[in-house]
Amino acid sequence: MALIYTEDQKSLIEMVKDMAEREVKPHVAECDRTGITPIELFDPALEMGLHMLEIPEEYGGAGMDFETSAMIFEELAKVDAGYADTIVTTFVALRNVIIAGTPEQAQRFADVVADGGFACFAITEPGAGSDAGALRASAVPDGKGNYVLNGTKCFATNGECASLYVGFFRIPDVGITAFMFDRDTPGFSVGAHEDKMGFRMSNTTDLIFEDVVLPESAIVGVPGKGLNIALSGLNISRAFLSTMGVGIMQRALDEAVAYAKVRVQFGKPIIKQQMVQQMLADMAIKVEASRVLVNNTMKMIDAGMDVRKEASITKTFVTDSMQEVTSNAIQVFGGYGYSREYPVEKLMRDAKIFQIFEGTNQIQRLTIAKCLEKEYE
């Protein structure tokens, strides 16, 4: 691979690989078929402390750097990216609390996660996807120091399995505001579970709010600044999710090469055929370029740099590359690639969502263009 790994990184990656191959991989096909992932399937990952990697040390977590954490989740995503994303989504919610919340909120978040709880980041609504500023879910002051929340969120990752939620609501005459709340909050319920094309080991649901009463202390950051908080967190998340994309691509390449070495046509393994060699070479180019791009962006985040443009570039390049790499993997397999008997069709189904969530790639290109315009003023 193009990266130079430290001995500690190699050791961690090997431990995660062993756990995922042994504890998760045997269940992937069935979970993909049913769209249901038993929560106990995550116990091995929790026992390894993967849920605590990004939580700062002062709150009881590992405080791991983004560069190393990304390497670990690439490895986990090779077995199943939806499984990896269930853990990563907790970090997506956490980043908002770390960016804008109080130390007390951060500690509460860490304590819930340390006990084995997952978290959910809830911003998308039926009428507010790419246009997050159009969200309609409301938080109305009750005059007693509380806020009454009403509305619906959709496509909420970890919606059903989360213990803690960071959601975004519009306060009249104030603006979009972030709130943190527990699963058992009265008036809050989990709605329909999405029957998705791929990424089926990741739980995705609607969230319903019916006169949910939260105290002012549930607000994360400054009222009315919720969208800024969310976008700041997403700058990290967009780059970080790309590491799971690299995992999917590497798995697709591994499967394609292995198959091409044993599949014989015209009297020789197809890996000896020039056209197949070209496809495999193109796949390898995209995988390595994507891995290096993710790694550089992670280093920038670790250095505290503004990665708004770089995160969008990384997300767009990697997730667009995934479409080519996974499609070529199926092409190498030929008709067998279209069969569920082999894993590559699943990789292609899983890959598609990466061009959509955390901001569509069309939105990423707009962000890149706006950054360029500002840079050249």
From 81, 91, 206, select the one nearest 156 (Cα to Cα).
206
147 touches 214 (CB < 8 A): yes
Q: Pick the catalytic residue: 7, 358, 375, 377?
A: 358
Active site residue 358: yes
Nearest to 332 by CA among 254, 225, 230, 247: 254
Task: Tell me 48's DSSP state.
Answer: T
Long-range interactions of 205-208: CB distance < 8 A, separation 24+: 205/156, 205/159, 205/160, 206/152, 206/153, 206/154, 206/156, 206/159, 207/120, 207/122, 207/152, 207/153, 207/154, 207/156, 207/159, 207/165, 207/167, 208/152
d(CA 108, CA 50): 18
Closest CA to 327 of 373, 298, 290, 286: 286
| Catalytically annotated residues | 358
